[in-house]
Amino acid sequence: MTTLNKKPFYKDLTFQVIAAMVLGIAFGFLAPELAAKFKILGDIFLKLIKTAVAPLVFFTVVHGIASAGDIKRVGKVGLRALIYFEIVSTIALAIGLLWGNLLNIGSGMHDAHPSSATAAAASAAVAKGHAPASTMDFIYGIFPDNFVGAFAGGQLLQVLVISVLFGFALLALKPERRSVIEDGLSRISECFFEFINLIMKFAPLGAFGSVAYAVGSNGAAVLMSLANLVLMFYVCIAFFIFIVLGIVCRISGFSLWRFLKYIKDEIFIVLGTASSESALPRLLQKLEKFGCSKQSVGLVLPTGYAFNLDGTSIYMSLCVLFIANAYGVPLSWEQQLGIIAIMLVTSKGAAAVSGGSFVVFAATVTAIGSLPVEGLALLFGVYRFMSMAIATCNTIGNSVATVVVSKWSGEFTEHTAQAEYHRVLGRDLQAAL
């Protein structure tokens, strides 16, 4: 009988991130003013991650298209991915609205008023993000006017456009010329992955700084005043992950619970940093090892970061109702269905603007027109805590989508997945589940 060689628990990245989060929460409550200054640790970590995200997406998408060998195979995976994204995103939006209506969320907040500092911070966040003003602006902004500028600006949607076009251009080359370029791209991407592995050693510091800042800057008063919204949002996120995605996984022939255990390190990194980008480089490697083909991982996962933002969808629909109820603005079912239609477009912009979900949520509130923009400041105080769940749901949703679309497209190797489960989780897990 063989035994699994396990490293000490304190060297495990998951343990380190969880411990850092607990310390950050305690530090934020004990010394809030000092804790707020530790935001720089989280910001530095995320900046380092973002330096590699755009190039990694480019190399992975291009290599995924090139390894497919022909445009028809790329189209098969890509079309099925987009269909899946739209169906699941619509379900997420609907669940957020139904949950908000059931709870009458925000109805007890008529007397709540954000502080001037919070209102100013919310306005600055929206202004910094340059949220798209209309659907046409959003569509226009997808297409870059500068090859390098899309990478420098961290515009993920633009990088995806460049990557797809470059990948198709690579397919047009003769095989002998294409193989040389593919080999070069593969070697460069390997270097970027090693770069990411070095940065990940600082994930606990980033998580500590982010959580300490969130608690220290917002304080207990704000947390308590909006506790119901935050708690109910987390309940809704949990329902979507364990029920909706659980059903999707069961239909697709694999266990969500086992899969979450497999990617638990990435989940805790995202939870601590409140950024789904922090896990993208590791997931690109891990899902390929799990049995998804290189081309399906290269196409589905990066595209999902722009088009399949389930956590963002739930946040937007639930918080629209919160603002409406908090300020006494009635919304009919017809108006709510119209809001869903708007969100199906604006939610796709969360990866394309600086400021993420809060910025595109602000764009949606502005586009609706009937809701008071003052409500944005009301929500800004606890956005950091909600963004942890948003990013985690987005990450899990995109990871599940990659496996599902891979299976759906015949791009998944079952015995590889079982071998990975055995290697990572232990030989007795299958019997236990």
CATH code at 182? Answer: 1.10.3860
Residue 306 inside a domain? The answer is: yes
pTM over 0.75: no
Residue 432 inside a domain? The answer is: no
Residue 433 inside a domain? The answer is: no
Q: How far is CA 361 from CA 209, 233, 331, 365, in A?
A: 25, 15, 17, 6
Residue listed under structure tokens 């995976």 = 77
Q: How far apart are CA 246 and CA 238, in angstroms?
A: 11
Which regions of the chain are under pLDDT 70? 1-7, 9-10, 13-14, 60, 64, 66-73, 108-138, 154, 156, 214, 218-226, 345-356, 358-360, 362-364, 366-370, 373-378, 380-382, 426-433
With vertex at residue 432, the alpha carbon angle to CA 427 and CA 433, rounded to the nearest 5 degrees, is: 110
Q: How far apart are CA 270 and CA 68, in angstroms?
A: 30
3-state secondary structure string across 403-414: HHHHHHCCCECH
Residue 105 inside a domain? The answer is: yes
Residues in the chain: 433
- C-beta neighbour count of 76 within 10 angstroms: 18
In this prediction, residue 117 carries a pLDDT of: 47
Residue 231 inside a domain? The answer is: yes
Residue 4 is which amino acid?
L
In this prediction, residue 84 carries a pLDDT of: 92
Range of the domain at 291: 13-425
Residue 6 inside a domain? The answer is: no
Q: Helical H runs in 253-373?
A: 256-262, 264-273, 280-290, 294-307, 310-326, 333-346, 356-368
Domain tally, the chain: 1
Residue 7 inside a domain? The answer is: no
Contact, 315 vs 233, CB < 8 A?
A: yes
In this prediction, residue 432 carries a pLDDT of: 35
Residue 1 inside a domain? The answer is: no
- Tell me which residue of 58, 60, 304, 50 sits closest to 162, measured CA to CA: 58
In this prediction, residue 115 carries a pLDDT of: 47
Quickly list DSSP for 55-93: HHHHHHHHHHHHHH-SHHHHHHHHHHHHHHHHHHHHHHH
Q: How far apart are CA 196 and CA 407, in angstroms?
A: 28
In this prediction, residue 402 carries a pLDDT of: 93
